[in-house]
Chains A and B, each alone.
Chain A
């Protein structure tokens, strides 16, 4: 691994996190912002810093790290550079679960109802896509299965929102498809955090198994890796992080695709090293994208997923071309 990569990413996160706290529609000076954040009073500035900007920055950090890690883990396990929770329909299915929970009243009745429902949606999608594509399946089958699951989940999400008695619901289809961190609160951080922590733990400890798996499943078995347990850990970990993230911020695509791809040359062909580097890289990407939404079009609530897709989709096409050349 190139030295200085992890500290560099860490430093970038600290700087971006601070920038995220300091940029917003309310023009506050840096000194005011910091004192508002530290002082525990009820002043309007403290309210802005603690209840509006802090949760937004925290969620960007957590969701970015989750998506980066989930992408790296899935690519490592499937040995396929195109695997990514957003592309294979996991995010879309999590959004479907969240929307059903909100519209059925389950989310209002029970505090953890929203993330649990999203987690169930994500879990169903991971299992379905993995069953359809199989661990040894080609890139093509994986992507096709993902597109099918993704399209179905998106359509059902639209259907549920259109059937809602609430006149605002239908206009929120865009939020669930593209994701946004606008006007999130600490409540959202607290309901997402337990699932994300569990998911990060499950995925973050996959390293050794994924390294062994690069030699093939039989070799990994021989090295004492229980592949079925590894798979279970991956599935649940991904469902946890993507479910919790999507429940509070909508589906944000391409982070898990772009970040591992950029970082892979720096860490060499070791999935274990890529895991945590991708978590940090994902946080950098989502924090940057979220700041960009506020700087580019402050009044319009530009969606986070729009920016990540603008970066991610060309890369995705590039990867497809590269894979095709390799096969020739």
Chain B
């Protein structure tokens, strides 16, 4: 009943083992497995609709409302809670936890091996890292201690937000962004329907930073959860970095 646990479960569950995923997993803006999710029953995260499905196990996230979790437990249903991972190591431990819960240890082990192999392949690459900055709606950025930052550094970039003193994922004024002048500005994908929060990404100052640069990048659904999909995001960024280094010798 959580976007991230839904993905882990869909990746690992045997046929017929997973009964239902949450509604948000259908939204391709945030869910890399929106197509797969359509094959399952959809729940809306309410205790009553989940109880009526009579599952043996409910997989919830850290931010699932406590009242819902307590009600389900009170009704005698086993609820396992997954915390939010902010590290790449966390991804493998989440995979292992999910594998154990679903009795699919072998599949989980195979996925972890694959994940670590891809991670090692990216880590060996050692060119001088270009600078990059995340810039999201409302001017927020990601710094140390975030999954996005780990992915960025694995892909061979240095996070210019950390260098500028914007450490722990807070709001970075547009002026500071312009002065930091990074090699790459990574923005977030826009939701449908306008908002002022996302207008900032269309601001001429941001556009000017993207113009004349080798490439632009956006964070998409691969970035949302601590699942093996973050490795795909890192690989895409690394490819981008190779093309950037070719253009600017």
**Interface residues, chain A, with chain B CB atoms under 8 Å away:** 24-26, 28, 42, 44-45, 47-48, 51-53, 102-103, 105, 107-108, 164-169, 171-172, 175, 183, 185-187, 299, 301
B48-82 at interface with A (beta carbon < 8 Å): none
26 contacting pairs across A/B (C-beta < 8 A): A24-B173, A24-B175, A25-B175, A26-B173, A26-B178, A44-B180, A44-B181, A47-B208, A48-B179, A51-B205, A52-B174, A52-B175, A102-B194, A102-B195, A105-B194, A107-B194, A108-B194, A164-B193, A168-B195, A168-B197, A169-B193, A169-B194, A171-B197, A183-B139, A183-B203, A299-B171
A105 to B190, CA, bound (A): 14
* CB–CB A103/B194 < 8 A: yes
Interface residues of B (CB under 8 A from A): 137-139, 170-171, 173-176, 178-181, 191-200, 203-205, 208-209, 212
Known contacts A169-B193, A185-B205, then 16 further A-B pairs from the complex at CB < 8 Å, ordered by chain A residue: A25-B175, A44-B178, A44-B179, A44-B181, A47-B178, A103-B193, A105-B194, A107-B194, A164-B195, A165-B191, A166-B191, A166-B194, A168-B198, A171-B197, A183-B174, A186-B204
Would you call A185 and B194 a contact (CB within 8 A)? Answer: no
Take A25-B175, A167-B191, A183-B174 as given contacts and tell me if A51 and B197 are in contact as well, using a CB distance cutoff of 8 Å. Answer: no
Residues of chain A within 8 A of B181, CB atoms compared: 44
Decide: B178 and A48 in contact? CB cutoff 8 A.
yes
Task: Known A165-B191, A299-B171; judge A52-B197 contact (CB<8 A).
Answer: no
Whether B175 pairs with A172 at a CB distance below 8 angstroms is no
A167 — nearest CB in chain B belongs to which residue? Answer: B191
The reply to whether A26 and B193 form a contact with Cβ atoms under 8 Å apart is: no
Residues of A within 8 A of B209 (CB): 47
Bound CA–CA A185/B174 (angstroms): 11
Query: Would you give the shortest CB distance from A268 to chain B, in whole angstroms?
Result: 43
B78 to chain A, nearest CB (A): 31
The residues of B that contact A301 with a CB separation of less than 8 Å are 171
Query: Measured between alpha carbons, how far is A125 from B197 in the docked complex, in Å?
Result: 27
Q: Which residues of A contact B175 (CB under 8 A)?
A: 24-26, 48, 52-53
Which one of A45, A105, A185, A187 lies within 8 Å of B179 (CB-CB)? A45
B191→A52 contact, CB < 8 A: no
User: Which residues in B have their C-beta under 8 angstroms from that of A172?
Assistant: 195-197
CB–CB A26/B176 < 8 A: yes
